Amino acid sequence: MLSFLKKQKNSITTILPENFVDIHSHLLPGIDDGAKNLDDSVALIKRMYDFGIRNFITTPHIMEGVWENTPEIIMDKLNDLRAHLNSLGMDIQLSTAAEYMLDGNFNNLLSQGNLLPLKDSYILVEMSYFNAPVNLYEILFNIQIAGYTPILAHPERYNFYHQNFNEYQKLKDAGCLFQVNLLSLSNYYGKHVNTIALKLLKENMIDLAGTDTHHHRHLNHLEKINDKKILRLIQPVLENNVTLFSR
């Protein structure tokens, strides 16, 4: 029992700062590859509440031909979940944005000006895990011309950059903020992802963090991240979430 308590004391789930805002999760019910229904949403949120997370900006996928969510669909799901949580007496802050795939339809969405930012002008974007868009830097430029700041989700998971670390600096120079997945601080996504995540942290290139929670397996592994050196590295990033996104 004592060894269990000692392990939990050092877990990343016990060092989250007060007012930490999880800016990347898939908690809305039945809308993408995250929570399947209201009960699933509530179970995940209750568990994260036990970690000390009280403020969530959930980010369902918007991806051409796969998850063609609209702001209206997303807001309806948010309202359903909020109402259900209120009926259970859960005291949390829950809002929504979206995780936008930089695909063939993204420029259309951008030109329409009907995006769901995390807060103010910040929008969460992602790329295919196979390759970057051929016009990536044009897209990033257009995002900023439209008045938004792009936050690139989990840059450490784009394997095509792993052998050319300089590409990360190009993205930073192009105006991208970087959001690391906390699970990348373990070997959950593989050793190479973990190596790049730690290198980005050590180079002070990570701006923000998110759980990217889809299901309980993610939370199971999150609780196991307990290396003291890693916890020290990630602490300032966790504080950045509070500074930029607490309400």
Looking at residue 5, its pLDDT comes to 37
Q: How far apart are CA 207 and CA 3, in angstroms?
A: 33
Using alpha carbons only, give the angle 134, 65, 80 rounded to the nearest 5 degrees. Answer: 120
- If you average pLDDT over every residue of the chain, what do you get? 94
Higher pLDDT, 17 or 246: 17
Higher pLDDT, 176 or 3: 176
Q: Give the least confident one: 7-11, 61-65, 114-118.
A: 7-11
Average pLDDT over residues 213-239: 96
Region of 24 on the Ramachandran plot (φ > 0 left; ψ -120 to 50 alpha; else beta): beta
Q: How far apart are CA 119 and CA 79, in angstroms?
A: 18
Amino acid at 190: G
Looking at residue 6, its pLDDT comes to 37
The domain total for the chain is: 1
HSE-CB of 108 using CA atoms within 13 angstroms: 9
Looking at residue 1, its pLDDT comes to 34
Per cent of the chain over pLDDT 90 is 93
Looking at residue 10, its pLDDT comes to 79
**CATH number, position 192:** 3.20.20.140
Looking at residue 247, its pLDDT comes to 72
Average pLDDT over residues 80-89: 95
- On the question of pLDDT at 2 being above 50, the answer is no
Q: What is the pLDDT of residues 67-82, one digit of tens each?
A: 999 999 999 999 999 9
Looking at residue 9, its pLDDT comes to 63
Which structural domain, as residue segments, surrounds residue 237? Answer: 2-245
Per cent of the chain over pLDDT 70 is 96
Q: Which pLDDT band holds residue 62 (cuts at 50, 70, 90)?
A: very high
- On the question of pLDDT at 121 being above 60, the answer is yes
Q: What is the pLDDT of residues 6-52, one digit of tens each?
A: 334 679 999 999 999 999 999 999 999 999 999 999 999 999 999 99
